[in-house]
A and B are shown apart, each in its own frame.
Chain A
Amino acid sequence: MQALPTLLIAVPVAGASLLLATGRLLPRGLVDGLAVAVTLADVVLAGLLLGATGDGRVVSWAGGWQPKPHLVVGIVLVADRTGAGLALLIAVLACCALVFSWRYFESVHAHYHALILLFTAGMTGFVLTGDLFDMFVFFELMGAAAYALTAFKIEEPESVQGGLNFGVLNSLGAYLTLSGIGLLYARTGALGLPQLSVALAGRGADPLVLAAFVLVCTGWLVKAAAVPFHFWLADAHAVAPSPVCVLFSGVMAPLGVYGVARVYWTVFHGVLPDAAVHRCMLVIGVATTALGALMCVTQRHIKRLLAYSTIAHIGLFLLGFAALSALGVAGAGVYLVGHAAVKGALFLLTGLLLSRYESVDELSLYGRARGHRLAGCAFVLGALALAGLPPFGTGLGKSLVDDAGASVPLTVLTVAVSALTGGAALRVGLRVYFGLGREPHPESTSDEEVTGRDEQPDARPPHNRTPTSMTAAVAVLLAGGLAVGVVPGFADGVGRAAAAFVDQHGYVMQALSMANAPSPAPPPTEWTTAGAVSGVIATVLAVSVACAGLYGRAPSWLRRPARPALHGLHWWHSGRIGDYAAWLVLGSAALAGLLIV
Chain B
Amino acid sequence: MTVFAYGVAAWLVLIGIFGVVRSDNLIHTVICVAVAQSGTYVLLLTIGYQRGAAAPIFGSSTPKGSPVVDPVVQAMTLTDIVVSATVTALLLALVIQVGKRHGTIVPDELHELRG
0/1 string, B88-99, CB within 8 A of A gives 1: 001100110110
Q: Could you say which residues of chain A place their CB within 8 Å of the CB of B37?
A: 171, 175
Q: Is the CB of B83 within 8 A of A140?
A: yes
Q: Is the CB of B20 within 8 A of A574?
A: no
Q: Is the CB of B113 within 8 A of A172?
A: no
Q: Is the CB of B47 within 8 A of A182?
A: yes
Interface residues on A, range: 35 or more
Q: Could you say which residues of chain A place their CB within 8 Å of the CB of B44?
A: 178, 182
Q: Which residue of A lies closest to B87 (CB)?
A: A171
- Which residues from 14 to 39 on chain A have a C-beta closer than 8 Å to any C-beta of chain B? none
Q: Is the CB of B94 within 8 A of A582?
A: no
In the bound assembly, the distance between CA atoms of A176 and B94 in angstroms comes to 23
In the bound assembly, the distance between CA atoms of A261 and B67 in angstroms comes to 38
Q: Is the CB of A168 within 8 A of B114?
A: no
Q: Could you say which residues of chain A place their CB within 8 Å of the CB of B69?
A: none
Main secondary structure of the interface of B (DSSP, over half): helix
Q: Is the CB of B90 within 8 A of A168?
A: no
Q: Which residue of B lies closest to A448 (CB)?
A: B115
Chain A nearest CB, measured from B104 CB (Å): 10
Chain B nearest CB, measured from A115 CB (Å): 11
In the bound assembly, the distance between CA atoms of A302 and B91 in angstroms comes to 27
0/1 string, A157-193, CB within 8 A of B gives 1: 1101111110110011001101100100110000100
Counting CB contacts under 8 A, is B110 at the interface?
yes
Q: Which residue of B lies closest to A158 (CB)?
A: B112
In the bound assembly, the distance between CA atoms of A162 and B14 in angstroms comes to 24
Q: Contacts A168-B33, A175-B36 known; A575 to B47 CB distance under 8 Å?
A: no
Q: Is the CB of A575 within 8 A of B113?
A: yes
A-B contact count (CB 8 A): 139
In the bound assembly, the distance between CA atoms of A182 and B110 in angstroms comes to 36
In the bound assembly, the distance between CA atoms of A182 and B48 in angstroms comes to 10
0/1 string, B27-70, CB within 8 A of A gives 1: 00110010011011001100100000000000000000000000
Q: Is the CB of A168 within 8 A of B43?
A: no
In the bound assembly, the distance between CA atoms of A571 and B113 in angstroms comes to 11
Q: Is the CB of A578 within 8 A of B23?
A: yes
In the bound assembly, the distance between CA atoms of A178 and B84 in angstroms comes to 12
Q: Is the CB of B83 within 8 A of A160?
A: no
Counting CB contacts under 8 A, is A156 at the interface?
yes
The residue from A144, A304, A449, A574 contacting B86, defined by CB atoms under 8 A apart: A144
Q: Contacts A144-B87, A167-B90, A581-B21 known; A450 to B114 CB distance under 8 Å?
A: yes
Q: Could you say which residues of chain B place their CB within 8 Å of the CB of A154?
A: 97
